[in-house]
């Protein structure tokens, strides 16, 4: 099955991004495809390279980037939501790209299921 993923909450405050990450990993392990991971609302905060958690905690941003590199995932950050929250090309983490909301709608059209994580 081809999944589209929508993440609507930022890292650490909510578990949404962690759960989405585990879901994507599990889906890939089962041989499913991930059409795209789209970051919206505070979810855009998953894409800043300035994130620097304590050593003994997971780095949610880098973890997404590593998974994307390994599986050629398309990690897309909504431009309007990102600019509102101070996320732009110069502080964007590796493997993420900034684009428009059309990418979310397209994922809803192209994927067999669009799965939302976050409130």
Partner 1 sequence: MSEEMSESGIVKKFMYVNRKAPYGTIYALESLEVVLIAAAFDQDVSLAFIDDGVYQIAKGQDTKSIGVKNFSSTYRALDDYDINKLYVQKESMEARGLTDKDFLVPVEIKTAAELSALMEQQDVLLSF
What are the residues binding partner 1 (CB under 8 A)?
A: 6, 8, 40-41, 80-81, 100-102, 104-106, 108-110, 114, 116, 119
Nearer to partner 1, 28 or 79 (CB): 79
Instruction: Give the 3-state secondary structure percentages of the chain, helix then strand then coil, rounded to 5.
Output: 45, 25, 35
CB of 113 to partner 1, least distance (A): 9
Nearer to partner 1, 54 or 102 (CB): 102
Residue 78 falls in the annotated catalytic set: yes
Give which of 101, 51, 65 is closest to 81, Cα–Cα: 101
Q: Where are the alpha helices (DSSP H) in 1-119?
A: 16-29, 60-71, 79-84, 102-110
**Cβ atoms 108, 42 nearer than 8 A:** no
CB of 85 to partner 1, least distance (A): 10
Nearer to partner 1, 38 or 64 (CB): 38
Which among 78, 81, 87, 93 is annotated as catalytic?
A: 78
Structure tokens at 25: 């990993």
Q: Which residues are catalytically annotated?
A: 78
């Amino acid at each position: 099955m081809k999944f589209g993923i929508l993440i609507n909450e930022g890292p650490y405050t909510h578990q949404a991004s962690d759960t989405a990450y585990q879901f994507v990993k599990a889906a890939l392990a089962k041989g499913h495809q991930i059409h795209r991971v789209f970051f919206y609302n505070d979810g855009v905060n998953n894409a800043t390279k300035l994130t620097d958690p304590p050593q003994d905690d997971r780095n949610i941003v880098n973890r997404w980037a590593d998974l994307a590199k390994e599986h050629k995932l398309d990690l897309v950050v909504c431009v309007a939501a990102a600019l509102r929250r101070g996320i732009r090309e110069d502080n964007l983490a590796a493997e993420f790209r900034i684009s428009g909301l059309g990418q979310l709608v397209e994922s809803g059209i192209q994927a067999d299921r669009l799965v939302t994580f976050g409130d």
